[in-house]
Amino acid sequence: MLGWGLQVVRREFSFETDRMAAKVLAVFFASVDTWQSFCTMNESFSWRILRVGSLRECLDAWQSSNLCQLLDDRMRTAVEITIDELGSNFLRYSGAKSKEMLLTVTFDGAVLTMKFDDDGELFDPTMVPEPPKGNIGLLPVGGRGIHMARRSMDSWEYQEVDKRNLNVLVKKVAVEVEPEPEQQPVILSTPEPAHEPEAIISPMSGALPPPLPPEAFDEEDRPGAA
């Protein structure tokens, strides 16, 4: 619920972050009555698609509805794709005896639900397989639109009710979570142990040995001998 509210405020006021939008919501929800009315919001849209009618009329009515204006672009596009594809399949393949498809779209602020109730030939579209290798062009005619609607919504259930087809499709509001600021890792460096400077020993270092006494020389080798 709050995620949807943040998206609406951000879109309408061009806020860059959820934090800025949250401040506006905090002021808006200062009244308990306002908060309760927001939480119990339940917008809806209904249309009767006749087999001899035009699907364009349904799409035009949807685009001008209050519910359509509440949704973001992503959800509006998903709804229009689903109406176009399921409505087209009904008009083309429901059979000569079919007369109508009843469409109901409801939204509670967090979950959007679409119900298609028609009196055409019984058919479970959820049994249509996924395209081979993800190539939609390999699907049979009629199955491509089903695949596009399936990809646009979050879930799809089919029921046979009183010999009528009932398809219920659901899409949830996507809440954008702002990434946490990246923290730089703290590297603990261990100081290197202090080293004593190595002594440099030179071969010429040190004092000269004392001179030998004269007695240490032979007579002829003594210094000053002729």
> Residue 94: which of 58, 53, 57, 151 has the closest Cα?
53
Residues contacting residue 120 through CB under 8 Å, at least 6 positions apart: 90, 93, 94, 95, 98, 101, 165
Name the residue type at position 49: I
Question: Do 32 and 55 have their domain in common?
Answer: no
Residues in the chain, pLDDT under 70? 1-41, 133-143, 175-181, 186, 188-226
**Are 79 and 161 part of one and the same domain?**
yes
Query: DSSP assignment, residue 17?
Result: S
Q: What's the pTM value of the predicted model, to 2 decimals?
A: 0.62
Strand order in the sheet with 100-107: 43-50, 100-107, 111-118, 164-172, 155-161
- Give me the residues paired with residue 161 across strands: 164
The answer as to whether 55 is a domain residue is yes
Structural domain range at position 63: 42-172
Q: Are residues 168 and 135 in the same domain?
A: yes
Query: What CATH number corresponds to the domain at position 137?
Result: 3.30.565.10
pLDDT at 148: 87
The answer to whether residue 178 is domain-embedded is no
Cβ-Cβ contacts under 8 Å for 87 (sequence gap 6 or more): 49, 55, 58, 101, 103
pLDDT of residue 2: 45
Give the CA-trace dihedral at 127, 135, 78, 74, to 10 degrees. 140
Token digits for 215? Answer: 């007695």
Unique residue bearing structure tokens 């001179």: 211
Do 97 and 32 lie in one domain? The reply is no
Residue after which a domain boundary falls, among 123, 147, 172: 172
Rg over CA atoms, the chain: 42
Measured CA to CA, the distance from residue 52 to residue 46 in angstroms comes to: 18
pLDDT of the residue at 34: 47
Number of domains in the chain: 2
192: left (phi over 0), alpha (psi -120 to 50) or beta: beta
